[in-house]
Amino acid sequence: MTVHKEELGSGEHEEADDYVPSRRRLDRERHKRARTRRATAIGALSTLVTAAVLYLVVVNAPGWPRTKETFFDREYAREAFPKVLEGLWLNVRLLLICGAAVLVLGMLIAVARTLRGPVFFPLRFLAAAYTDFFRGLPLIINLMIVVLGVPALRLQGVTVDPVLLGGTALTLTYSAYVAEVFRAGIESVHPSQRAAARSLGLNNRQALRYVVLPQAVRRQVPPLLNDLVSLQKDTGLVSIGGAVDAVRAADIIVGRSLNYTPYIVAGLVFVALTIPMTRFTDWVTARMDRRQAQGGAV
C-alpha cells in the first residue's frame, strides 16, 4: 500500500510537471500584461504632464522670484537642516513615549467605559466625561493650558519642563481618541464570544483579557496606526512652550534671518518621517482586508 501511494504521488507530480497551459490562457495572460504596461505608461505620462503644468504655473507667477527667495533659499536650507534634524530627535522621543502612554491610558479608559453592572456607573461616567471633554477641547488650547497654566500654579514637586508638560497634554488629548478606537473594537466583538468564554469556565475579567481584547485590538490596528501618525505630526506643537524640537529649531533661524526656508525644511523632514508610517498603515489595512475577504481571522 505504501509503495502504491508513493508511485501514485510521483505520478501526480510528473503530471503536474508536464502541465502546459492552454493557448487561451496564454493569450489571456499576455493581454493582461499588455493592459498593465499600458496603464502604467498612461499613469506615468499623465503624472509628468500634470507636474510640468504645475511647475510652469508656479515659476511663471508674478511673485515667484520673491517667493523663491523667501521660502526656497538654498543657503538657509543648508544651515537649517542639521539643526532641524537635531530637534527632530525630541519629536521622535515624544512619539515613542507618548505613543506608549496613549495606548495604555486609552485601553484603560475603553475598558472602564465597557464595564457592566450598576456598581461601575461612576467609573463609566468619568471615562465618558474624560473622552467627551478632551475630544472636544482643541489640542492647541490643551497645550497652552498645561504648558503655561501648570507652572503658574507653583505647585510643589510638579515639573515645569515644557517637554514633559507638552507630552502630558498630547497624552491627555490622544488617549481620548484612542479610547474610542479601543471601545469600538471591544463592542464589535460579538456577545457570543464572551458567552462562549464564560461557558468554558472563564470569569468576566478572564473573558475580557483572553477573548475580547485580542480580537478588538487586531481589528483596530489600522485606525490606531493612523492616530500614531497624527501624534507624530502634533509633537511639533510642544514648541509653543519653548521646547527646542524640529519646529522650534526652524523658528529660531527664521526669527534671526526673516527667511522662511527653515519652515519648509522642517515640514519636509516631518513628511519624510510620516510617509513610511502611512505606507505601513496602508499595508496593514490592505492585508487585513484581504484576510477578511478570504474568510480568515482578522
Q: Mean pLDDT per 10-residue run, the chain (298 residues)?
A: 47 58 85 90 92 90 88 90 91 92 94 86 93 93 91 84 92 94 87 83 82 83 86 88 86 90 92 86 79 62
> Which helix (H) or strand (E) covers residue 76, if one does?
helix 74-114
Distance CA 216, CA 67 (A): 49
Asked if residues 219 and 185 have their Cβ atoms less than 8 Å apart, the reply is yes
How buried is 275 (Cβ within 10 angstroms: 0-12 exposed, 13-18 middle, 19+ buried)?
A: exposed
Q: What is the pLDDT of residue 5?
A: 46
Query: What per-residue confidence (pLDDT) applies to 268?
Result: 92
* Cell numbers for 68: 523663491
Predicted TM-score (pTM) of the model is 0.76
CA pair distance 156, 150, nearest whole angstrom: 11
Long-range contact list for 103-109, CB < 8 A, 24+ apart?
103/178, 103/224, 105/171, 105/175, 105/178, 105/179, 106/174, 106/175, 106/176, 106/177, 106/178, 106/179, 106/181, 106/182, 107/178, 107/179, 107/182, 107/213, 109/175, 109/176, 109/179, 109/182
Residue 54 is classified by DSSP as H
What's the confidence (pLDDT) of residue 298? 52
Q: How far is Cα 135 from Cα 285, in angstroms, rounded to an integer?
A: 25
Closest residue by Cα to residue 217 from 284, 124, 295, 170:
284
